[in-house]
Structure 1
């Protein structure tokens, strides 16, 4: 008896008493864990209070809320886009903004309630009344800017929206077009620019620009030289290409003739005949032409030709040659506005200026890459008078750069960004 009693006593003493169990504190609250007997060892389960659970799940809850908001926003955007019967997406290397304005003017003259958005250096939204409002950017351009324009167009009850493609990267071009679901696409031309994004070869540039083409859409183009390659690229994407003819009634400016032809063809593809849209298009083209400012000063005629927005040499040379044919001015001054982040463009324009030889009397260099441009011109033995000058210094060098008397042509080229707008103000605000 004593032996069994002793064993029982020994056995009972090996089991911890409830009152003697250790106390575990969790965030200030005393918690006494349950005791689990397993081979004489006590194990303690993990303790999770409500606050720990919420903290753990919070990122997932926020992610789910964001996904839900995006789903709702996408559904609303699709509905707004569907409320716009005519949707025209304008892409290409050069002339996009002009073509957007021409198409908009043409549709309005046909009685269509039309809004538009151009990108360029100054992104602008044109309402149903034709009132332009600058879109303010806080940081780099973002594709959401296009979605905001579409929301505004739907809210105004527009019957047509003409939107300029704002993206360079092919994937973003495709994203724009996928959301816009254009009824007509425009590809103005394929030129050599933005090689770091568009590619080094013509085939790479074609692939980049046609990434915005959606299946089943009609694509209108003014490109002539690469027409066969464009036909093949557009056909691969399940679309149809239409070549726009030049409009011969637009004077000698080939670029204007081509842009007017593109606008007429795009409106026709959208279902509006040329006779209804052409009056508005021609009126807008005339406003574009008036950017060239004729001024009479002391018996001499000065003509300022604004080609700052044509960032590539091919478009600039085409416009320059057309102006020289229509008005063979004796003295030519070229203002080259440069950008340090576009060194290839600077070199291209310098090479073009050197090919003009004695046709150019003086070259005025401005912008953040002007020192490099000056070195290139001098190393290329440029015969023209070369001077570095910003717009606010023009009055100091004008006498040397532009001779007094006779007929004078001043051509602004290179880049509109930076000093380009200020050069415009110089020549629109007073005599050259």
Structure 2
């Protein structure tokens, strides 16, 4: 028995020492990043994260970003990105440690990261232990996650304030509960900055090729100003930033009966206020038009939210309200009595899209719009898959010859959206292809010199366009210059590696002549990295 107590004691001491070492390494990585922006709130966190990162990149700041929402992504300083790998597809706030460590290898000027915690206690841990932001963003307070942060909106506001940096700065566009945020900010000695959405003009908003809100742009501009980036430069950086895969979008299809259909996926806006804002913006921009039809997807574990979606039907004034999923009654009963006769119950726990979609499309007139709200899981995913199989509407005018309303360009929605699942390879390839441009590379061979080389050199093929002799000379000089620079850097790196092996100094985080970061393969051992 004494032996087991001894093993337990040794194991506890080992775990404590390992935890201390891990914490010190994490804090060292954090402190190597001068500006850390933590984005929190209920709606629009992923879009704001991308906008802030784009604005800072526009100001020539080396910026790394990470989003969490519809598609968790790690965004490199050159705006390229990749999905965040999650073991077993489960999100955990601990992944922020690896994100910070990976971001620190770029020696960035700023890190913009989305808060992925929902529970108030975890939000505080995310700020005080994992990110330690210098600038906090609290975008808005909406009716969502009331079970974890509620039950009232005032409680939600105070819960979100746990991510405010102590002795730092917090930017917000929340107006109705600004006084609550101010109280919490004063308690943390945090300067609260209000980003006025009206400061963003319609002309500036039209510069985006995808749907966004003035509130989001105003917050990103305020963050950029705090970090010394001019407004026009920040705006251009935001225009160039790639949108989130879950961005609000409008697709146009042709049904099997030949009807034209404009479909807006608003599933990502889970609360009623955000849903209304999204749909009203689409109507104002002409991306969707009336006659307007609404489809509500219900989930058995989101009965309260189902009812919230039914309550906003009078504000939308649709011609038809299609209810799918289970239990459909939870949404239909919440629709006011004067609008309930427009509701069509297509729900069912296991109904496939092939069963309810023909009835849905049959009740819609050609040229009308369909807006999907509520929850995406279940029948919502099947609806998206069914529509994705329909041919796209490429026509510029309607069947009656009328002009089709213009729609702002946006990234297409994937057929299935699951924030906790791996994305299909085909979707990833399409998304990456839309964000990258293939650049042709011309390789210049090293030309031998001397009389012997001239004697054995093969004759050059004759083409219609011959190399310009001056261009060939310049290319050869550039090639020689790069080779000499690489040789000098290799020699320096080899010396530093030898010094590390002797224990005199740690490996330097240097960059080669081509701007690629070089790091050791292991600390204190292993083989030197390859420089070829």
TM-score by length of 2: 0.64
Report deviation, 1:217. 1.3
**2:308 equivalent to 1:310:** no
> 1:32-64: per-residue Cα shift (whole Å, max 9, x none)?
xxxxxxxxxxxxxxxxxxxx5432211111111
**2:375 equivalent to 1:415:** yes
**2:340 equivalent to 1:382:** yes
**2:83 equivalent to 1:133:** yes
Report deviation, 1:195. 1.2
> 1:294-334: per-residue Cα shift (whole Å, max 9, x none)?
44679865322221111100110122122233337232222
State the partner residue of 1:197. 148
**Separation in structure 2 between the aligned mates of residue 326 and residue 280 of structure 1, nearest angstrom:** 23
State the partner residue of 1:365. 324
> Do the aligned partners of residues 416 and 112 (structure 1) sit closer, same or farther apart at CA in structure 2, a change above 3 Å counting?
farther
> Do the aligned partners of residues 265 and 358 (structure 1) sit closer, same or farther apart at CA in structure 2, a change above 3 Å counting?
closer
Report deviation, 1:374. 4.8
**Separation in structure 2 between the aligned mates of residue 289 and residue 139 of structure 1, nearest angstrom:** 22
Q: In the alignment, which of 116, 119, 127 is matched to residue 169 of structure 1?
A: 119
**2:299 equivalent to 1:339:** yes
**Separation in structure 1 between the aligned mates of residue 121 and residue 356 of structure 2, nearest angstrom:** 46
**Separation in structure 2 between the aligned mates of residue 228 and residue 378 of structure 1, nearest angstrom:** 33
Query: How many pairs does the alignment contain?
Result: 379
**2:6 equivalent to 1:57:** yes
Report deviation, 1:109. 2.7
Paired residues for 1:43-122 under 5 Å: 52-122=1-71
**2:263 equivalent to 1:276:** no
Give the CA RMSD over aligned residues: 3.1
Is residue 333–residue 364 contact of structure 1 (8 Å, CA) maintained in 2?
A: no
> Do the aligned partners of residues 335 and 431 (structure 1) sit closer, same or farther apart at CA in structure 2, a change above 3 Å counting?
farther
**Separation in structure 2 between the aligned mates of residue 231 and residue 387 of structure 1, nearest angstrom:** 46
Report deviation, 1:176. 0.8
- The unaligned stretches of length 5 or more in structure 2 are 393-532
**Separation in structure 1 between the aligned mates of residue 154 and residue 213 of structure 2, nearest angstrom:** 26
3-state secondary structure, aligned to 1:203: helix
- The unaligned stretches of length 5 or more in structure 1 are 1-51
3-state secondary structure, aligned to 1:143: coil
> Do the aligned partners of residues 431 and 395 (structure 1) sit closer, same or farther apart at CA in structure 2, a change above 3 Å counting?
farther
Is residue 103–residue 264 contact of structure 1 (8 Å, CA) maintained in 2?
A: yes
TM-score by length of 1: 0.78
Report deviation, 1:396. 4.7
Report deviation, 1:429. 5.1
Report deviation, 1:69. 0.4
> Do the aligned partners of residues 257 and 136 (structure 1) sit closer, same or farther apart at CA in structure 2, a change above 3 Å counting?
same
Structure (1/2) with the larger strand percentage: 1
Report deviation, 1:236. 1.7
Paired residues for 1:191-340 under 5 Å: 191-246=142-197, 247-248=200-201, 249-251=204-206, 256-284=213-241, 291-295=249-253, 301-327=260-286, 329-340=289-300
Give the greater-gyration-radius structure (CA).
Answer: 1
3-state secondary structure, aligned to 1:132: strand
Is residue 150–residue 156 contact of structure 2 (8 Å, CA) maintained in 1?
A: yes
**Separation in structure 2 between the aligned mates of residue 425 and residue 106 of structure 1, nearest angstrom:** 35
Structure 1 residue ranges (4+ consecutive) displaced by more than 6 angstroms after TM superposition: 285-290, 296-299, 378-381
